Amino acid sequence: MSVVKSVTCPVCGCLCDDIELTVEDGKVTHVRKGCAMCESKFLNYVSEHRVKTPLVRKDGKLVPTSYEDAIHKSAEILANAKYPILYGWSSTDCEAQRIGVELAEEVGGVLDNTAVVCHGPSIIGVQEAGIPTSTLGQIRHRADLIIYWGCDPWSAHPRHLERYTAFTDGRFEDSEWMSYINKVKASVGKKKLSSVKRRSFQCETEYEKISDNKPPVDLNKEGRKLVVVDVRESMTAKVADYFVQVKPGKDYEIMAAIRSIVNEEELDVDEVGGVPVEYLEEIVDTMVNAKFGVIFFGMGLTQSAGKFRNIELAISLTRDLNRRTKFVILPMRGHFNVTGANTVFTWQSGYPYAIDFSLGYPKYNPGETTCVDVLLREQSDAALVIASDPVSNFPRKAAEHLVKNPLIVIDPHMNVTSMVGDVVFPSAVVGVEKAGTAYRMDHVPLPLKKVVEPPEGLLSDEEILRRIVEDVRVIKSQKKEAN
Amino acid sequence: MVKQKLKVTLLTGRTIEQGVGKEAGKATQGYFESTTMAYMDICDMKKLGIKNKSNIMVTTPNGSVVLRAVKHPRGAMPGMIYIPYGPWANSIVSNETTSTGMPSFKGTPAEVEAAPDTHVSTLKELLKSQFGK
């Protein structure tokens, strides 16, 4: 038995690098310091859902084959395709992503990563307006106002609050954990009282009325302040000092109103997007009086009406706030190395995602070269999917076209895309069985550890891709000679 | 009797159970349970005359899917339905990318009705019906 310390967790964009794993007989048996998702990953990487050998579809069924056969079949599919898609990349290491760019250029395909259905609009927003940002370390030590807008880190980035924001002891700001515990104790007392009242008087349950945003009284407290803006009361909203419940699709309006108040303009209305203007004014007072404020934003802004315009406005608001105090803004990146995919693609091609190599040079035009749009227009004729699950995560019509054409899948586990794939490669789990590099959501690169050996004979994503590139080159040179 | 239908705004997103399920495996029972449910406001459930964890059919211009309605545990969210990301949610979300590459995963208009006699498709059934594989 051995304990491996300071392991980087390969699940979400937090990339927590303090995980401790107990390894017995070449298997992880115990996880310390990780969240529920981290534990699930480290304890289930060798489950029955692991693909043990490459598979190819024959007579409608996936049957085992060798790596050589699967690599050759994949190379043939890609070399013969006119407009293939190479999609995914966010749950693998930068080393594999680099080979991916090489392969996309070689086959003249569309190279896209999961940002397209995640923070793609954030990237466009940043390209429009720039980004005043910082690392999570700065935020941990200095931020006294934390705003989560359209995101629920308690569910999607469970240790974000504990490691980087409200519930961490920074050098200049203290953790608000105890104040949260006291709040929970008080609310338990209130619940008991109301339960006794209900039973004693046998009155009907009074269901909480919606969207009556309460006055932001807790924003007057000392210490770090936590504000959550969302359409529903998420778990993060539950722990916040103030929760602003917005009507769906009204984020842009509310943010524009806040920006106007920051810029000392008068609003002619009493309410914006379901929130009274006087409450917005109090929020702005808190923002302007903060020493170091931060806005974290998520899918609530990128996937709802307005999309990249929401982000552009959030960045403009941050810029305006910087005239009055210090404010930064960060996207809550989902997959553990989606930031790495954007970074590697940018180094190699000049563009972060949605890169079309079909003309022999990289072209980027979101809406045209984005993977979902290519699929909806039914233009692609083959696809390679790696380290992601688009059949699970794309709208049905886009997934239908993906499945209709030859589909190559590289993933350690049998995910939904693998189930309908034509060539399926098992690979070593990056960050567990393969060392590499990943970028945290604030663009800090961190090393991923190899904790255990992969099952015998299993190749890494990087190696599989390298062999496919080599085979594609051979097929292309043979075709050239034949012509 | 005409079945009552409720017009709602469809939101899809993350839950911790879905996150744990996806890491454990897409074919696991945990993933199935966490992605075949839909959070609804208790008042909306009363309007439809449905109980917690009973089946509903959610319909959008892009299709229909049967899910389990679960009472949203915190606060109120009338007129909204929240389905965790997964193949079931994505079989009905809007394709519209408004030329940004991003489909409208949040904000699709939808209709909800009680569906006590229908069952929630398993992953295999869903894939077979959608892709024939």
A102 and A141 belong to one structural domain: no
| Among candidate residues A51, A53, A87, the one with its CA nearest the CA of residue A70 | A53
In a domain, A52, yes or no: yes
A152/B14 CB distance under 8 A: yes
A452 and A356 belong to one structural domain: yes
A237 and A282 belong to one structural domain: yes
Which residues in chain B are closer than 8 Å to A370, comparing Cβ atoms?
97, 100-102
Q: Which of A315, A331, A347 is the last residue of a domain?
A: A331
A352 and A440 belong to one structural domain: yes
B95/A395 CB distance under 8 A: yes
Q: Give the pLDDT confidence score for residue A329 in this predicted structure.
A: 98
A443 and A478 belong to one structural domain: yes
Interchain CB contact of B43 with A (< 8 Å): yes
A416/B105 CB distance under 8 A: no
CATH number at A179 reads 3.40.228.10
In a domain, A402, yes or no: yes
A155/B105 CB distance under 8 A: no
A60/B94 CB distance under 8 A: no
B97/A232 CB distance under 8 A: no
Tokens matching residue A249: 């699709």
Which residues in chain A are closer than 8 Å to B85, comparing Cβ atoms?
392-393
| Rounded (5°) CA angle A175-A235-A113 | 95
Interchain CB contact of A187 with B (< 8 Å): no
Percent composition of chain A: helix, strand, coil (DSSP 3-state, to 5): 40, 20, 40
A326 and A340 belong to one structural domain: no
Q: Which of B14, B82, B91, B96 to mutate to test the interface with A (most CBs of A within 10 A)?
A: B14
Q: How far is B102 from chain A (nearest CA, A)?
A: 5
Closest residue of chain A to B80, computed from CA coordinates? A248
A296 and A362 belong to one structural domain: no
A326 and A341 belong to one structural domain: no
* In chain A, residues 24-43 whose CB comes closer than 8 Å to chain B: 36-37, 40-41
A385: phi > 0 → left, psi -120 to 50 → alpha, else beta; which?
A: beta
Interchain CB contact of A161 with B (< 8 Å): no
Q: How many domains, in total, are found in chain A?
A: 2
φ/ψ (deg, to 5) at B117: -100, 5
In a domain, A26, yes or no: no
B75/A37 CB distance under 8 A: no
Instruction: Report how far residue A108's alpha carbon sits from residue A361's, in angstroms, rounded to the nearest whole number.
Output: 9
Q: Give the pLDDT confidence score for residue A179 in this predicted structure.
A: 85
A196 and A82 belong to one structural domain: no
| Among candidate residues A111, A87, A120, the one with its CA nearest the CA of residue A303 | A120
In a domain, A232, yes or no: yes
A67 and A191 belong to one structural domain: no
Interchain CB contact of B49 with A (< 8 Å): no
Q: How far is A116 from chain B (nearest CA, A)?
A: 6
CATH number at A342 reads 3.40.50.740
E strands, B14-117, in order: 37-40, 55-60, 63-71, 80-84, 106-114
Q: How far is B115 from chain A (nearest CA, A)?
A: 22
| Among candidate residues A14, A7, A44, the one with its CA nearest the CA of residue A337 | A14
Q: Which of A245, A391, A392, A407 to mutate to test the interface with B (most CBs of B within 10 A)?
A: A392
Q: Give the pLDDT confidence score for residue B2 in this predicted structure.
A: 64
B92/A396 CB distance under 8 A: yes
A60/B133 CB distance under 8 A: yes
Which CATH number is B5-131 given?
2.40.40.20
B28/A302 CB distance under 8 A: no
* In chain B, residues 85-124 whose CB comes closer than 8 Å to chain A: 85-87, 90-95, 97-107, 123
Which residues in chain A are closer than 8 Å to B127, comparing Cβ atoms?
391, 416, 419-420
Supply the range of the domain harboring residue A97: 47-117+336-482
Instruction: Report how far residue A457's alpha carbon sits from residue A454's, in angstroms, rounded to the nearest whole number.
Output: 8
Q: How far is B111 from chain A (nearest CA, A)?
A: 16
Which residues in chain A are closer than 8 Å to B87, comparing Cβ atoms?
391-392, 416
In a domain, A392, yes or no: yes
In a domain, A41, yes or no: no
A178 and A270 belong to one structural domain: yes
Displacement of CA A385 from its chain's centroid (Å) = 17
In a domain, A25, yes or no: no
Interchain CB contact of B11 with A (< 8 Å): yes
In a domain, A35, yes or no: no
Domain ranges of chain B: 5-131
Q: Which of A268, A297, A331 is the last residue of a domain?
A: A331
Q: Which of A308, A331, A354 is the last residue of a domain?
A: A331
Per-residue pLDDT of chain A (483 residues; tens, 9 = 90+): 899 999 999 999 999 999 999 999 999 999 999 999 999 999 998 877 889 999 999 999 999 999 999 999 999 999 999 999 999 999 999 999 999 999 999 999 999 999 999 999 999 999 999 999 999 999 999 999 999 999 999 999 999 999 999 999 999 999 998 888 888 888 777 777 766 665 565 444 443 444 578 888 888 888 999 999 999 999 999 999 999 999 999 999 999 999 999 999 999 999 999 899 999 999 999 999 999 999 999 999 999 999 999 999 999 999 999 999 999 999 999 999 999 999 999 999 999 999 999 999 999 999 999 999 999 999 999 999 999 999 999 999 999 999 999 999 999 999 999 999 999 999 999 999 999 999 999 999 999 999 999 999 999 999 999 999 999 999 999 998 988
Prediction pTM value: 0.94
A208/B76 CB distance under 8 A: yes
A131 and A278 belong to one structural domain: yes
Q: Give the pLDDT confidence score for residue A192 in this predicted structure.
A: 72
A391 neighbors A27 (Cβ within 8 angstroms): no
Instruction: Report how far residue A385's alpha carbon sits from residue A410's, in angstroms, rounded to the nearest whole number.
Output: 6
